[in-house]
Amino acid sequence: MAEPRVRIRNVSKSFGGIDALKDVSFDIAAGEIHALVGENGAGKSTLVKIITGLQSSDRGSILLDGAEIRFHNPMEARAGGVLAVYQDPKLFPNLDIAENVFMGIHPKTRTGLIDRKLMYRRTREVLDWLGADLDPKAVVVSLSTGQMQFVEFARALFDANEKLLLLDEPTASLSPNETQKLFEIVKRLKKRGVSILFISHRIEELFGFADRITILRDGAHVVTKDMSEVGQAQIVQYMVGRDITDLYNGAHAEGAAAVGAARDKAKAVLRVEKLSSMGEFSDVSFEVYPGEIVGMAGLVGSGRTEIAKAIFGAIPLEGGRVWIAGRQVSVRNPAQMIGEGVVYVPEDREIEGLIADLSVSDNMLLPSVVKLAVAGFVNAREEAKIYDRYTQEFQIKSAGPRTKISGLSGGNRQKVVLSKWMSMSPKVFLFDEPTHGIDVGSKAQVHKVMRELARQGMGILMISSDLPEILTMSDRVLVVSDGLLVAEYLRAEATQEKIMAAAITGKDGK
C-alpha cells in the first residue's frame, strides 16, 4: 500500500503541566476527507496549530508525502502546501476582498508593481470556483460573517498547490446554503487529490461526506474508523465515553430537594424568560432555585457565556425578562446587577476575572472596596479581615496580601476570584467554566465551595464543557445549542451521551 499523504505520529503537547495532546497518531490519504471530532478541549485545535506551525509539538512528528514537516508560521506552511482555515476570520476590514486574499503575496507585473488587474481577475476566478457571488472589490468590513469565511477560503485556495487543507469548524457561521456550497468545494478538492482534515461538531453533516473519522478525547486518540462503520450514537459514545465514577467523589447534598417537587417559579432565585440577543441567543427561558446547582452544557460558541453575561449586564440584552428573587429587574450594567445580588465568575479568568498586576488583596477586595470605605478612604483593617477570612476558608496559598496575583497558581487564582464575590452577599452565582485549567486538588476545593454556597441557599448556574463535572455537580442540566435552549435533564436521567447528542444535534432526544 502506498505511503499515506499525511502521517501524524505520536504527537504530544502539554501546556504548563496540562496535557493537550497525548501521543496522537493517525493517517490521512491523498484525496481523503478525514473528519476530526471531539469535545472542546479534546485537542483538535492544538493539533491544527501544531501542523501549521503556530505551535510546536513537545514530541512526535508529522510527515507530508514521506518527509517530516516543521513549519514556524502560516506563511511557511502555505509554501509547503499546508493551509488552514479557522473559525474567526482574520481579515483586514478596511481593504477589499482581493487585497485580503493576496496580502503579502500580490502578483506583480514586469515593472515590479502590483498587477491589480491580475489580482482582481484571479480573485474573481477563485470566488467563482467557490461558487460565491461576491465582488472582489467589496470592502471586507461590509460583509457578513459567512461571506468573510468564504474570503478566508479564497485566501487559502487560490494558488491550487494545496496538499493538506485543515478546516477548523468551517460551517459554524454558515447558513445551510453556504454549508452546502462548502461541501461541494471540499468534494472538488478531494477530486484534485487534496487531503482534508475537517473538524466539526455537526456530526450528522459528516455522513455521506467524510471518508474516515478520528475521535479525540481528553487529548488522546480514541479511534479512527471509516465513516461507513459508525453511527452517530457510537461517535458520541466515543467522544464522551469515560468512566466518571472515580473522577469526582462525593455526592451532591440536599440541594436536590427543590428538584422533582412541584416548582413555583416565583420562588426561583433567578428566573429568565425569552431572553434574546441578536446574533448570540434567542428564546432562552429557565429558572434556578435557591440551593440548586444548574449545569449549562453545550458546545463552545453555542452562546452560554453570552447568556450569562447578558443576565449579568455585561453585554446588552435585547429581549426577554429577568426576575431576581421574585422581583423583575431591568438589566442595565454589572454594577446594578451586583447590587441585585447576581455575580459572574468569568470564563476568561486571566483577562476578565483578575487584574494581573494588582495584589491578591486588591483583587479580592475590588468589588467591595467601595462598600467598606470610610469617607472615601480605603478601610485597610476591614480589608485585612476579609483577606484573612477567605484565604483561610478557601485555603488560598499566597505569599501575602500584597503579592502580585500573577504569582499564584491557577487554582489559587480562581479561589481569589470566587472569594471576591463572597463579601457582596450574592443570591445568584453565575459560574463560567469554573475549573477550567486548574489542578485536580483545586478543582475539588472549588466544587466543595460551590456545594457550600448552594447549601447556604444561593442559586448557582454552572456553565461547563467538562461533562463529568456537569454530571457530578448539577441538580439539573440545561443544554444550549446554537443560541437556543434545547434540552433539560434532571440529574437522574442525564448522561454524557444524551447531553453531547443534544448539544450537537439540537434535539433533546426525548
Partner 1 sequence: MAENKFRGFLRDYSWESLILVFNVIAVVVATLLSPLYLNAFQILYSLQQSMGIASILAIGFMMIILVGEIDLSLPALVAVGTVSFARLSVMGLPLGLSILIVLAFTTLAGLLNGYLIVSFSLPSMAVTLGMMGVYRALALWIGGYEGFGVDAFKPSYIYVGDTLWAGFLPVSFVLLVFLFVLAWLLVHKTVYGRLLYATGNNRRATHLTGHSIKSIITSTYGIGGLMAGVGALVYIGQYQSARADNVASILLFVVACIALGGFSLAGGKGRVIGLILSILLLGTIQNGMGLANIQGPVQTLVIGLILIASIVVPAAIGAIGGAASRAKNIAERVSASSK
Partner 2 sequence: MGDLTTAVQTPKRHWSVIVLKNRMVGVLLFEALIVIIFSIAARKFLTLSNLNTIFLNACILAILACAEAVVIITRNYDVSVASMLALAAFVGFDLIKKFPNVGPVLILVPIGIGVVCGLVNGVIVAYGRVSSVFVTLAGLSIYRGIVTIYAQGHQIEPRDISDWVRNSVTGSVVPGVSNLAIITVVIIALVAIYLRYTRIGRQIYAIGSNPDAATFYGLKVPRVILGAYLLCGAMVGLSGFLFAARSSYVVPWFAQGLEMQVIGAVVVGGVSVLGGSGNVVGAALGAIVLTTMDNGLILIGTHEVIRQFLYGVAIVGACILDASVLKQVSRLLKSSKRLGARR
Residue 46 near partner 2 by CB under 8 A:
no
What grid cell was written down for 190? Answer: 478531494
In the complex, minimum distance from the CB of residue 483 to partner 2, in angstroms, rounded to a whole number: 4
Q: In the structure grid, which three cell numbers stand for residue 334, read together? A: 454589572
Considering the complex, state which of residue 81 and residue 334 has its C-beta at the smaller distance from partner 1: 334
- Please tell me the distance from the alpha carbon of residue 266 to that of residue 434, in angstroms, as a whole number: 28
Interatomic CA distance for residues 422 and 429, integer angstroms: 10
User: Applying CB under 8 A, does 90 fall inside the site for partner 2?
Assistant: yes
Residue type, 381: R
Q: Report the SS3 class of residue 264.
A: coil
Query: By C-beta, is 123 or 359 nearer to partner 1?
Result: 359
Q: How far is the CB of 365 from partner 1 (least distance, A)?
A: 8
Query: Would you count residue 484 as binding partner 2 (CB under 8 A)?
Result: yes
What is the Cα–Cα distance from 130 to 132, expressed in whole angstroms? 5
- List the helix and strand counts (H, then E) for the chain: 17, 20
Q: Is 281 in the site for partner 2 (CB under 8 A)?
A: yes
Say how far apart CA 369 and CA 363 lie, in whole Å: 10
357 binds partner 1 (CB under 8 A): yes
Of 133-141, 230-238, 383-391, 472-480, which segment contacts partner 2 by CB under 8 A? 133-141
The DSSP output letter for 103 is T
Query: In terms of CB distance, is 378 or 444 closer to partner 1?
Result: 378
Question: Does the footprint of partner 1 cover residue 370 (CB under 8 A)?
Answer: yes
In angstroms, what is the minimal distance from the CB of 115 to partner 2? 9
Q: Interface with partner 1 by CB under 8 A: which range of 16-24, 66-74, 337-345, 465-473?
A: 337-345
The pairing of beta strand 59-64 with beta strand 67-68: antiparallel
Other CB atoms within 10 A of residue 339 CB: 10
Kindly report the CA angle at 166 between 162 and 172, in degrees rounded to 5? 130
Torsion of CA 312, 313, 315, 321, to 10 degrees: 90
Pick the binder of partner 1 from 75, 266, 366, 490 (CB under 8 A).
Answer: 366
Q: Would you list the DSSP string of 399-440?
A: S-TTSBGGGS-HHHHHHHHHHHHHTT--SEEEEESTTTT--H
Nearest CB to partner 2, comparing residues 43 and 89: 89
- 287: which strand partners? 271
Q: Select the binding partner of residue 332 from partner 2, partner 1, none (C-beta < 5 to 8 A, by kind).
A: none
**Closer to partner 1 by Cβ: residue 233 or 370:** 370
Cell triple for residue 92?
483586514
Cβ nearer to partner 1, comparing 253 with 356: 356
Q: Does 384 bind partner 1 (CB under 8 A)?
A: no
Among 373, 384, 440, 490, binds partner 1 (CB under 8 A): 373
Stretch that binds partner 1, among 1-9, 86-94, 266-274, 365-373 (CB under 8 A): 365-373
Contact between 168 and 45 under an 8 Å Cβ cutoff? The reply is yes
Binding of partner 2 at residue 159 (CB under 8 A)? no
Among 131, 241, 334, 468, binds partner 1 (CB under 8 A): 334
Residue type, 261: A
Q: How many CB atoms lie within 10 A of CB 467?
A: 23
* Binding test (CB under 8 A) with partner 2, winner from 16, 17, 176, 376: 176
> Any contact of residue 114 with partner 2 (CB under 8 A)?
yes
Q: Does 351 bind partner 1 (CB under 8 A)?
A: yes
Q: Does 17 help bind partner 1 (rule: CB under 8 A)? A: no
Listed in sequence order, the DSSP H helices in 193-259 are 203-206, 232-240
103 binds partner 2 (CB under 8 A): yes
**Choices 108-116, 131-139, 236-244, 356-364 (CB under 8 A): range interacting with partner 1:** 356-364
d(CA 317, CA 134): 33
Helix, strand, coil fractions of the chain, as percent rounded to 5: 35, 25, 40
443 part of the interface to partner 1, by CB under 8 A: no
Instruction: Figure out which of the listed residues 34, 44, 122, 181 binds partner 2, where binding follows CB under 8 A.
Output: 181
Please tell me the distance from the alpha carbon of residue 341 to that of residue 181, in angstroms, as a whole number: 48
Chain residues binding partner 1 by CB under 8 A are 312, 314, 333-335, 338-339, 344, 346, 351-358, 362, 366-367, 369-370, 373, 376-378, 420
Chain residues binding partner 2 by CB under 8 A are 73-76, 90-95, 99, 103-104, 106, 108, 112-114, 116, 131-134, 139, 141-147, 150, 173-179, 181, 202, 278-282, 303, 482-484, 506
